[in-house]
Amino acid sequence: FIIPNFTSFQRRIGDIFEEVSKVESGQVANYIPQLASVDPDLFAVAVCTVDGQQFSLGDDHESFCVQSTCKPVSYAIALDALGRDAVHRHVGREPSGRGFNELTLNQNDLPHNPMINAGAIMTASLINPGRPLAERFSSVMDVWKRLSGGRRCGFDNAVFLSEKETADRNFALAYFMREHGAFPPGTDLLQTLDFYFQQCSITTDVRQMANLAATYANGGVCPTTSDHVFRAETVKDVLSLMYSCGMYDFSGEYAFSVGIPAKSGVSGALFMVVPGVCGIALYSPKLDVLGNSVRGVEFSRRLVETFAFHTYAGI
Ligand code: GLN
């Protein structure tokens, strides 16, 4: 086993979980009613190792919408289908140093990276373009299922409708990118935005999300089903950008002090990938000012105090 004494590992994760559950600060996202009304005290963690050992704690059956944690999945789907060069003709790979929804493009008039809204709208445009939206969406859902150990994810239509209703900024980003000729020719802008909002509205729980994270930790092969979901090259690129850009405008500090590729979403979801070891998923809806789960960040800090999971620990 990659983690030989799993019982002791579980106990130490349990201790961190207990400590972090005392942290009460932060605010739930309030830009849509479906997020504003969630129970702020929900808290769950799940771990899945690259050899398929799993455990979870707290509200581990609670389902939540994935929000920005869909971004490393959309990016991986696009990379796997088109390859690195074709994808990066339309999106950069540099941290933006700005908020996740800022109206800004890089020097080449492209979104800075696939982990911010503009970049994720762009990667949505690259997934099966020209096919009916229903088919594009079901192909994405199929990938989520394969990443989740063969268990289907859900879809929250109320979240989708609200996202669409309150999306002036995302519309602005898309029109801004179109004005600068960033999209592939023939892109249907409104359909692309719907596709992006739909991906944000996919629902899962921490157990499934830990399986997804473990698939990334395992080079694209799901540890519980052995399904080869993504190419190893794809996973390498995704993890590189999660490391540098996955935690909004906290990414540099997180890479420095935690040192684990991770992606957060405004629902309070967070997943971490410890390459070759395990995937960890957390859910706690209260966010800090940058949009990261407060308990998620606190858990991450304590995790690397306890285990040598920082990429550059112990060398
Ligand atoms: N649906 C949100 C948006 O596009 C997702 C953002 C997020 O999780 N940061 O604004």
CB of 292 sitting under 6 A from ligand 1: no
- HSE (side-chain half, CA atoms, 13 Å) at 157: 0
Q: Is 243 a catalytic residue?
A: no
Q: How far apart are CA 222 and CA 230, in angstroms?
A: 9
Q: Give per-residue pLDDT as tens, 26-35.
A: 999 999 999 9
ipTM above 0.90, yes or no: yes
Bridge-partner residues for 64, per DSSP?
Answer: 204
CB of 170 sitting under 6 A from ligand 1: yes
Tell me how far the alpha carbon of residue 198 lies from the centroid of ligand 1, in angstroms: 11
CB of 291 sitting under 6 A from ligand 1: yes
pLDDT band at 15 (very low <50, low <70, confident <90, very high): very high
3-state DSSP: the chain helix, strand, coil percent, rounded to 5?
45, 10, 40
Residue 315 within any structural domain of the chain: no
pLDDT at residue 148, as a whole number: 98
The DSSP result for 260-278, as a single string, is S-EEE-TTSEEEEEETTTE
Q: How far apart are CA 168 and CA 270, in angstroms?
A: 25
What three-state secondary structure class fits 28?
coil
Q: How far apart are CA 160 and CA 203, in angstroms?
A: 11
Residue 314 within any structural domain of the chain: no
Q: How far apart are CA 130 and CA 201, in angstroms?
A: 22
Q: Is 71 a catalytic residue?
A: yes
Q: How far apart are CA 185 and CA 188, in angstroms?
A: 9
Residue for token digits 């929000």?
67
pLDDT band at 97 (very low <50, low <70, confident <90, very high): confident
Q: Is 216 a catalytic residue?
A: no
Q: Which residue is catalytic, options 71, 164, 263, 286?
A: 71
Q: Give per-residue pLDDT as tens, 110-132.
A: 999 999 999 999 999 999 999 99
CATH code: domain of residue 200: 3.40.710.10
CB of 160 sitting under 6 A from ligand 1: no
Please report the atom of ligand 1 found closest to the CA of residue 200: 1
The answer to whether residues 275 and 217 touch, using CB atoms and an 8 Å cutoff, is yes
Rg of the chain's alpha carbons, rounded to an integer? 18
pLDDT band at 100 (very low <50, low <70, confident <90, very high): confident
pLDDT band at 258 (very low <50, low <70, confident <90, very high): very high
Tell me how far the alpha carbon of residue 315 lies from the centroid of ligand 1, in angstroms: 36
The DSSP result for 76-113, as a single string, is HHHHHHH-HHHHHTTS--S--SS-TT-S---TTSS-S-
Q: How many domains does the chain have?
A: 1
The DSSP result for 219-230, as a single string, is TTB-TTT--B-S
Residue 1 within any structural domain of the chain: no
Domain hosting 281: range is: 6-306
